[in-house]
Structure formats: C-alpha cells, structure tokens
Structure 1
Amino acid sequence: MIGGVISASTRLDKALAEATDLSRERIKGLIADGAVEVGGKRANSPSARVAEGAPFTVHLPAPTPLEAEPQDIPLVVAYEDEHLIVVDKPAGVVVHPAAGNRDGTLVNALLHHCAGQLSGINGVERPGIVHRIDKDTSGLLVVAKTDSAHEGLAKQFADHSISRRYVAICAGQPKPAQGTIDARLGRSDRDRKKMAVLPPDATRGKHAITHYRTTDSFGVASILECRLETGRTHQVRVHCASIGHPLLGDPQYGRDPKALRPILEKLGFHRQALHAASLGFIHPATGERVHFQADLPRDMAELIDEIAR
C-alpha cells in the first residue's frame, strides 16, 4: 500500500504518477481495479481533477513470483569460478524475466549453465543478479553464485568502488572533448518510461556522475569512453543526450543525424551504440582486484568502419 497527499491540483493519474513513481498506465489499471482511494472514497476516473492536499491511498496487489526456468542458451563467459561468473551479454538479450519477457533471458541461460547454482538474495525472479545493463546494451555483467559473493559485490556497487568503462558512439563532437557530467537523474514527467535530467535541488531522483573522453571523432559522430562513478538507469544515454550528443541508434533519447541515417539503415543498426567494455572489482571471496574486458561487438565495429570511410 502507498499513501500520501496530492502535491498539486491536476488530473488524478498524473498526480499519482508523480507522487508514487508508478507509471500513469499502471495507475489507470489500478483505478480500474478499484485499488485507488482519494479522500477516503474509491476513485473511478483517471482524468478526474484532484485538489492539492487531498489524501490518497493506492492498494498494490501482492507481486506474483515469476520463477525463471533453465534454458540452454549459449553464453559468452569471460570468467567463472565457484563464487561468481562474468558474462559478455549480447545486445537484444534481457537480463531477467519480467512481464513481456518471460523466457530467453540471461537468467534463463545462467540457470542452465550454472545448474541452478546462483545466489538467492533477489529471489526466484532475479537469481544471482547484482546489477543490470539495458536489453540493447552489450557487454560485461557479473553474476553471483553464492549469497556471500552477492553481498560482497552489492556492497561495492553501493559504495561506487566498482570500475566500469563503456564505449559509446555519439552524434557530433562533444566540446570539450572530455569532461564530467554531474546531473541528477529521475523519471521523466512527460514519459514515465524514460529517465531525465532533474534540477540539482530536486527532492526525487538520484545523483549521477559520468566521466567521458573522446577517443576518436569523425565530425558527424564520435567515439567516447565513459567511466561511471554511479550506475543509474540509462545513465550514459541520458547524460550524453543532455549535453547535445545522444548515442547513435538510441530510440528513446536521440534522433540520428540525417547524414548517418542511410548507414544505420544499411547496417540494420537499431539499438543504442553502447557497450560495457570493462569491469573491475574486488573478488568477494579472494580479496584480489580483478579486471575483465570485452571486445567491441561486430555491429558497433562495423558502424565505426562505415562512419570512418
């Protein structure tokens, strides 16, 4: 159950989306199910106007566990021992099952590969998963096999001591050629499925820092090395778009330069040009510093070759 007061006079679904961080579509569904009360009365219409200060209650149904099943799906393994496994995820693969992606995920593949020996801290829906990368981002991901490894890795992610380097292809030439983007990120007011840069004094969202360096430039596009201090949802994509240089192929946060559209169409490149190229951390069992690298995937390498011609 979620409760609170309406912060501004507006239509009900918009007000509740802002107050609860649920999507407006989810709010509409909950209203239709009779799960929303405003001022002690059941709400019936998502478009009804509500007054500032009105108390509300949203009754959330208990989540239905979505237990993943092992599936024999090929994995590219960068490293593996009895405590953890580091995989190089291809673009197009979802990390764990969810509504709309109940199988064919990285978790399904891991359950088969590891014979079910994955950390249970995140339950049956996300066994072993300590962090995620977007479906259409390729690259390195560390997965815990034991609860103790999971706890050790999670602590490093929480204190931002994990080393992560991404390779991105962005539109244009960032000026300066290297720098730091320090901008708070949170859900977009216009589209709850997207993230956005928020004002520095915003009370919602999370602090996010990306260090970028241009490693090559072709005028119309550039190759960036991005090092993350924080690991927020869509961080590199939103931060690059916020300085006017969205990632090529990104369907949510950018519009590809007109001059490059024929190349992207020719190659069938329709995903954000982003690759988690390196990952470093303290091994939670041995205490040793470990570091892994993943070569640029073929689709990004081909895109760079075409642009550079």
Structure 2
Amino acid sequence: MQWIVSESEAGQKLVVFLRNKLGPGFSSRQIKQGIENNLCQVNSRLEHFASMVLAKGDVVLYVIESLKSPVKFRFQFSSKDIVYEDASLLIYNKPAGFVSDGPEITQAMESYSQGGWELLHRLDRETTGLLMFTRGTAFREKMVYAFKMHAVKKTYFALVDGIPPQMSGTIENYLGKVHTYKGQALWGAVPSKIGHHAITDWVIEQKGSQVCLLRCYPQTGRTHQIRVHLSEMGYPILGDKQYGKKFKCSYLAPRCLLHAYALDFIHPLTGEKIFAKAELPKDFTEALELLVGRVAS
C-alpha cells in the first residue's frame, strides 16, 4: 500500500503514521518488524528506522501481505537438497534464513550419515545456495588448502539495482570493518595496511529496465565481499538492507537476492573434476521474471 504524507501528518514518526494507516489489526511491534525486514520504502528508498520523522509530501510504501500472514520457517534437512556427496565431502543447497554455522544446520549435519561433518566455509543468513561440509581431518586440510590456493572456483548470482555501463569488470580493493548495524560488523573499503585484499570479477548475465542479473566470481573469500563490492560500485543487491542505501527500483525484495550458484574444483582424493550447481530458488526466480522477464539458466 502507498500513501502521501499530508500537512497534518508531517512530523509524525514512521511507525505512528503506519499504525494510523493500517488500523488496529497491526501492532507497533509488528510494524517495526516489517520496517526492519525490508517491507517499507520512503521516497523510493528502503527505510529501516521506525523513528524516522516524516515530512509533507513524503511517499510511504508498505507491503502488508507478509505481515498479515507471517511464516516462521524451521530448518528441515532434506536429502533432495544434497547436490554432491561421497564419504569425505558433502555439498548442500542451503535455504535462506539460516546461519551456516547455526544450531539448526549444525545439528542436522551431526546426525546425518553417521555424523562427523564439519562446515568448510560460510554463507550469510539470507544467501542461498551451495555450502560445503567435509569429514576427516586429512581431507579437510586438503580442501582448506584448495580454497587458500584459489583452486575452488565459486560462482554467484546477484540481482542488483541499476545497470553498469560495461558488460563485465573486476573490483579489487582492501576490506575491513567500518561500521556496525544492529550489533553486526559492516565491511567496506579501507587502506591496504589495515584491510584484507579482496577481488571480485563480474559479468552482466541479463538486463531489465532498472536492474540486472550479475554472475559474480569472487577470487577471495572476505566477509560480505560480493555485497560490499557491488554496493561500493553503486549497484547494491536488491533486498540488502545492510549495504543497500537508496534503490532506484521500487521492488521490495524479501531478502538479499544473492545465490551461491556453483562450485568447480578438482577432488583432492580422486582427481575427479567436480562441478556442483544449485538452481535459483523460487523467490529469486519470481523477482527475476518480474523485473527482467526471464530466468537465468
């Protein structure tokens, strides 16, 4: 739903304005949660602060469907989401909403196939896609070394706000902690002497009128690397409430639309070339179809 702030409503806090507009069926707490979860825009910009003071003429957009029918997800381990498995290695297609090393996934892996599985790398809570687990110290050390030597090629898809003028490029800088958001560290470009070297290659896969789908190849594995790099380029990932400031596209993404699509490497024990991939999840394809008109393959 969308409203324009009148003269009499100017000066109201955002949460008060929305509570008056939405009526008694919505509590201030629910509305605040919605604001924090990417459901609100003010003047085409995602707004995350319920205490924001509105001015006359401000355009407030709020998505209420998700708030009316809240869905709480519980992690359900499914063998259908196993993309690759042998005695030492398991690659799983992680859904959004779960921390890679959180109790839900950790407990599921401890009990699967005689246990002993250890997480090899991490994905952010809202990022979907391929997550690797290893079993056995010797094999784990070999895979850690493969990552360190950049022998594991990672491919991500990101649906971003705006369209770069060139079809491909490379972002290279040094990343370090620069701010905090709700107690979580935010990363950004810093001088080389205090930062970690970070490189991301990217290619435009598909274009819409206001957004584009990027295929990203991170050459390093820094925290929030792709999200930070794309945001600092001026093309934040849709739904990224931590690194996205002002979006040109009015689409309210349900989450940060970043997907770990593929892993390409040589199995350190068998010498076999492994190419594992996970297709885009439903919420991502729905956004892609709406904003671009077709789904990546």
TM-score (norm. length: structure 2): 0.69
Letter matched to residue 115 of structure 2: G
- Whether 1:280 aligns to 2:280 is no
Structure 1 pair 219–270 and aligned structure 2 pair: CA distance change class (3 A):
same
- Whether 1:203 aligns to 2:208 is no
Structure 1 pair 213–72 and aligned structure 2 pair: CA distance change class (3 A):
closer
- Whether 1:80 aligns to 2:79 is no
Counterpart in the other structure of 2:35 = none
**CA distance in structure 2 between the aligned counterparts of 1:142 and 1:270, rounded to whole angstroms:** 25
Once the two structures are TM-superposed, the CA of residue 85 in structure 1 deviates from its matched residue by: 0.4
Structure 1: which 5+ residue stretches go unaligned? 1-70, 98-102, 119-127
Counterpart in the other structure of 2:121 = 131
Where do residues 50-69 of structure 1 align in structure 2 (5 Å cutoff)?
none
Once the two structures are TM-superposed, the CA of residue 271 in structure 1 deviates from its matched residue by: 1.5
Letter matched to residue 219 of structure 1: S
**CA distance in structure 2 between the aligned counterparts of 1:285 and 1:258, rounded to whole angstroms:** 48
Match of 1:237 among 210, 220, 227: 227
**CA distance in structure 2 between the aligned counterparts of 1:284 and 1:144, rounded to whole angstroms:** 12
**CA distance in structure 2 between the aligned counterparts of 1:251 and 1:72, rounded to whole angstroms:** 26
- Whether 1:174 aligns to 2:164 is yes
SS at match of 1:231: coil
Once the two structures are TM-superposed, the CA of residue 135 in structure 1 deviates from its matched residue by: 1.0
Letter matched to residue 277 of structure 1: Y
Once the two structures are TM-superposed, the CA of residue 257 in structure 1 deviates from its matched residue by: 2.5
Once the two structures are TM-superposed, the CA of residue 116 in structure 1 deviates from its matched residue by: 1.8
Counterpart in the other structure of 2:274 = 290
Counterpart in the other structure of 1:248 = 238
Deviations 1:132-176 (A, max 9, x none): 111110001111011111111100111111110000000000122
User: Which of 1 and 2 has higher RCO (CA within 8 Å, sep 6+)?
Assistant: 2
CA contact (8 A) 1:139 1:294 kept: yes
Once the two structures are TM-superposed, the CA of residue 287 in structure 1 deviates from its matched residue by: 2.0
Once the two structures are TM-superposed, the CA of residue 190 in structure 1 deviates from its matched residue by: 6.2
**CA distance in structure 1 between the aligned counterparts of 2:92 and 2:110, rounded to whole angstroms:** 13
Range that drifts further, 251-260 or 208-217: 251-260
**CA distance in structure 2 between the aligned counterparts of 1:225 and 1:72, rounded to whole angstroms:** 29
Whose strand fraction is larger, Structure 1's or Structure 2's? 2
Where do residues 24-63 of structure 1 align in structure 2 (5 Å cutoff)?
none
**CA distance in structure 2 between the aligned counterparts of 1:256 and 1:217, rounded to whole angstroms:** 20
Once the two structures are TM-superposed, the CA of residue 86 in structure 1 deviates from its matched residue by: 0.7
Deviations 1:240-287 (A, max 9, x none): 0011000000010003635423xx2xxxx3321100000012212212
Letter matched to residue 298 of structure 1: K
**CA distance in structure 2 between the aligned counterparts of 1:150 and 1:252, rounded to whole angstroms:** 32
**CA distance in structure 2 between the aligned counterparts of 1:228 and 1:210, rounded to whole angstroms:** 4
**CA distance in structure 2 between the aligned counterparts of 1:72 and 1:244, rounded to whole angstroms:** 36
CA contact (8 A) 1:186 1:204 kept: yes
Counterpart in the other structure of 1:21 = none
Counterpart in the other structure of 1:110 = 109
CA contact (8 A) 2:210 2:248 kept: no
SS at match of 1:174: coil
Once the two structures are TM-superposed, the CA of residue 306 in structure 1 deviates from its matched residue by: 1.3
Structure 1 pair 84–258 and aligned structure 2 pair: CA distance change class (3 A):
same
**CA distance in structure 2 between the aligned counterparts of 1:150 and 1:114, rounded to whole angstroms:** 17
Where do residues 293-308 of structure 1 align in structure 2 (5 Å cutoff)?
293-308=277-292
Structure 1 pair 242–258 and aligned structure 2 pair: CA distance change class (3 A):
closer
Letter matched to residue 215 of structure 2: E
- Whether 1:157 aligns to 2:147 is yes
Counterpart in the other structure of 2:185 = 193
SS at match of 1:183: strand
**CA distance in structure 2 between the aligned counterparts of 1:206 and 1:89, rounded to whole angstroms:** 27
**CA distance in structure 2 between the aligned counterparts of 1:74 and 1:291, rounded to whole angstroms:** 21
Measured on the aligned residues, the alpha-carbon RMSD in Å equals 1.8
Counterpart in the other structure of 2:204 = 214
Counterpart in the other structure of 1:100 = none
CA contact (8 A) 2:260 2:278 kept: yes
Letter matched to residue 187 of structure 2: M
